[in-house]
Amino acid sequence: MGNIVAIVGRPNVGKSTFFNRLIQRREAIIDSVSGVTRDRHYGKSDWNGKKFSLIDTGGYVKGSDDVFEAEIDKQVELAIDEADAIIFMVDVEDGVTSMDEEVANLLRKVNKPVLLAVNKVDNNKRLANAVEFYALGLGEYFPIASTNGSGTGDLLDALIEALPEIEEEEESELPRFAVVGRPNAGKSSFINALIGEDRYIVTDIAGTTRDSIDTRYNRFGFEFNLVDTAGIRRKSKVKENLEFYSVMRSVRAIENCDVCLVVLDATRGFDGQVQNIFWLAQRNHKGIVILVNKWDLVDKETNTMKEYEAMIRREIEPFTDVPIVFISVLTKQRVFKAIETAVKVFENRSKKIKTREFNDIMLPIIEKNPPPAYKGKYVKIKFCMQLPTPHPQFAFFCNLPQYVRDPYKRFLENKLRQEFDFEGVPISIFFRKK
């Protein structure tokens, strides 16, 4: 589990360019599955062998400067709450602005590492001009140019130096299930229904629950840790951007769990924010169970379970092998089934297939349906195995790995899912040269 680093600053100081620069190397690999990065504001990076997750908090601000005034406070608060270190970016062309000063005021009170990055320093004159940023009272600054990357090495060295050591927490053998979803979808009520005591006082204001809480659950022969991301701590002023913030708040819980229970409100559908949370879990290779809550409120005439389920599966293509359970936490309907399903998904995610058995089953399938020839070259797959990783990854060894196309990867994945039960678990398939 790596640290979380947040980038804050006014619009147009170059945060996104910097963000993209840091994650591009990895991003290309992470997202080769669907070829789309669905969420441009979260990514993973590493420097000198130390991995960290990066959040670009400025992702969602549209509109004028005055809208931004209120917005930047929220961004900085989000960063202060959620991150282990903060990179505050300013622009040497604009010099110190009143908004920079405001951000600096908030950041000076924080006892987390704050690194001041002065961007767009691409010549000596600008290097001299950067001195004025000492006035922000944040100590040393790092002159960088995020377009060509100069200076970013020093900044990253200092960042890695400043990141807190993560204590390897005692690896409990227990699986960790995270309950995630948008505010008011019924996450806390779901946990109450399970635990059977109102440990959370659930009210109807979005974001009434505080930080994520771990609960050890031991009933009906199941034992696991329940990680509740429980909405968002917030003052009433965060109305507009609950979307972005609740997704960002889920990052840590998702990175830290084995199975994500994605709770959605049946009356609101599988909307953009739920999808973002879903793809975040999928990109982190977590087991996933989708729980459709408040099913008792849906007008059954128009929406049968089958149609509703089909609608969700269309939205999550190509990774459709995910269990969907319709629940009502109010009437406790199928709440237990939800947990049973999560346990099953956890088992699927930790499943190891013997190499011999895997070859016996997959090679005949491949022989029957070999990869299509590409540029007149034939790909021959000779051997395959599951890799010893925490989540299911498979390597297929062949003569020309570079000629295997995505549709064939999907074909193999579908066959694999038919033969071995990997419901709810993202699978990675690699082609390697023998």
3-162 and 355-433: same fold?
no
10 is in an annotated binding site: yes
109 is in an annotated binding site: no
246 is in an annotated binding site: no
364 is in an annotated binding site: no
CA distances from 198 to 24, 176, 296 (A): 45, 21, 21
105 is in an annotated binding site: no
Which of 97, 98, 152, 93 shows the shortest CA–CA distance to 125? 93
131 is in an annotated binding site: no
122 is in an annotated binding site: yes
188 is in an annotated binding site: yes
13 is in an annotated binding site: yes
CA distances from 218 to 167, 214, 417 (A): 26, 13, 30
181 is in an annotated binding site: yes
Cα separation, 414 vs 408, in Å, equals 10
57 is in an annotated binding site: yes
182 is in an annotated binding site: yes
352 is in an annotated binding site: no
Which of 323, 254, 243 shows the shortest CA–CA distance to 291? 323
121 is in an annotated binding site: yes
Tell which CATH classification among 3.40.190.290, 3.30.70.580, 1.20.1050.10, 3.30.300.20 matches the domain 355-433. Answer: 3.30.300.20
95 is in an annotated binding site: no
Q: Which CATH superfamily is domain 176-349 in?
A: P-loop containing nucleotide triphosphate hydrolases (3.40.50.300)
11 is in an annotated binding site: yes
CA distances from 390 to 31, 144, 283, 427, 432 (A): 19, 37, 14, 11, 20
60 is in an annotated binding site: yes
209 is in an annotated binding site: no
269 is in an annotated binding site: no
187 is in an annotated binding site: yes
304 is in an annotated binding site: no
287 is in an annotated binding site: no
Q: Which CATH superfamily is domain 3-162 in?
A: P-loop containing nucleotide triphosphate hydrolases (3.40.50.300)
135 is in an annotated binding site: no
For the record, the structure tokens of 297 come out as 């409120």
Cα separation, 52 vs 161, in Å, equals 13
294 is in an annotated binding site: yes
Give the domain ranges of the chain: 3-162, 176-349, 355-433
Q: Is the pTM of this model over 0.85?
A: no
| pLDDT tens-place values along the chain, 434 residues long | 578 899 998 878 888 888 888 877 444 333 333 333 334 577 888 888 888 888 887 644 444 455 666 677 777 887 888 789 999 999 999 999 988 998 999 899 888 999 999 999 989 999 999 999 999 999 899 999 988 888 999 999 999 999 887 665 555 578 889 998 887 788 878 887 887 654 444 444 444 343 445 677 777 678 888 876 654 444 444 444 555 666 666 787 888 899 999 999 998 888 877 888 898 899 899 999 999 999 888 877 766 889 999 999 999 988 899 999 999 988 888 988 999 999 999 999 999 999 999 999 999 999 999 999 888 889 999 999 999 998 999 999 999 998 898 899 999 999 999 999 999 999 999 999 87
36 is in an annotated binding site: no
Question: Which alpha helices (DSSP H) does 109-186 contain, by range?
Answer: 124-129, 152-162
Residue 193 CA to its chain's centroid (Å): 26
Cα separation, 331 vs 149, in Å, equals 56
271 is in an annotated binding site: no
45 is in an annotated binding site: no
